[in-house]
Amino acid sequence: MEAKSRDDCVFLAKISEQAERYPEMLEYVKGFVKYAGAQLMPEERSLLSVAYKNLTGNLRASWRIISQLEEIEGPKARPFEFALMRKQREKIERELIGVCEDVLNLLDKVLIPAALPGEEKVFYCKMKGDYYRYIAEFSRSDAQKRAATASLDAYKLAYKTALSTLEATHPTRLGLALNFSVYYRDVLNSPERACHLAKHAFDEAVAVLDQMPEQTFRDSLIILQLLRDDLTVWFQEMQEQEKRDAAIRKPL
């Protein structure tokens, strides 16, 4: 169905989301971006995020499954079977890169240049960090380094802006802290920095919890729970690693 207005695009994007037809949803999202002149309302930004998140989420899940099969079954597989697994993984990687580059192009050329200071800019720069992080997850060598650096730069800009413009309990600021800490752990392999960032964001928000606006209370609490869960797991991992390191250093 052809969308003839911004409202049509928003409505059809919602319908497509409910029907889980995310490629079509993305087309309607791009439609209201065009009609809006890149000035999106919060609901429209949410639809933008949902469309790309579901497209990449399915591909990332598929990539992890194939990668695990390669690792577990590869040594036992016949050469042509192993080659087929690798070919399938590479096909998924190309699709995933295509989606990530599509959203990054939209962010760099359209949305970030038009973003207002504050929550809107933080939202888009966080997205930029996220999608470069996704590329870094499966890339190799120089490509991985470039994606990791671009992701870090975007997260740093988003976080600097968030600290100066958003309340400690704002869900966009908390969501950024959550994803930025995951970047430190999963991409840079630095659980210490991940824990430091996550704990700082968590503690600052909890300190002013009684001042949290009612309209964002539920969303902020959900992200705080996720931060706490990650911190619990990461602290345990660091303690276990310290025990293993101590055992290695212990003289016989």
pLDDT in tens, 167-192: 999 999 999 999 999 999 999 999 99
Count Cβ neighbours within 10 Å for each residue of 230-251 and write b for 16 or more, e otherwise: bbeebeeeeeeeeeeeeeeeee
Burial of residue 111 (CB within 10 Å: 0-12, 13-18, 19+) is buried
Give the single-character DSSP code of 5.
S
**Helix or strand or coil: residue 237?**
helix
Q: Give CA separation, 203 vs 72, 109, 206, in Å.
A: 41, 36, 5
Maximum CA pair distance of the chain? 77
- pLDDT at residue number 1: 62
The residue ranges of the chain whose pLDDT is under 70 are 1-2, 249-252
- pLDDT at residue number 241: 83
Q: Give CA separation, 238 vs 74, 93, 181, 184, in Å.
A: 30, 31, 15, 14
- pLDDT at residue number 75: 73
- pLDDT at residue number 246: 77
What are 3's two structure tokens? 């969308």
Please compute, for residue 171, the number of CA atoms within 13 A of its CA located in the half-sphere on the CB side. Answer: 14
- pLDDT at residue number 4: 80
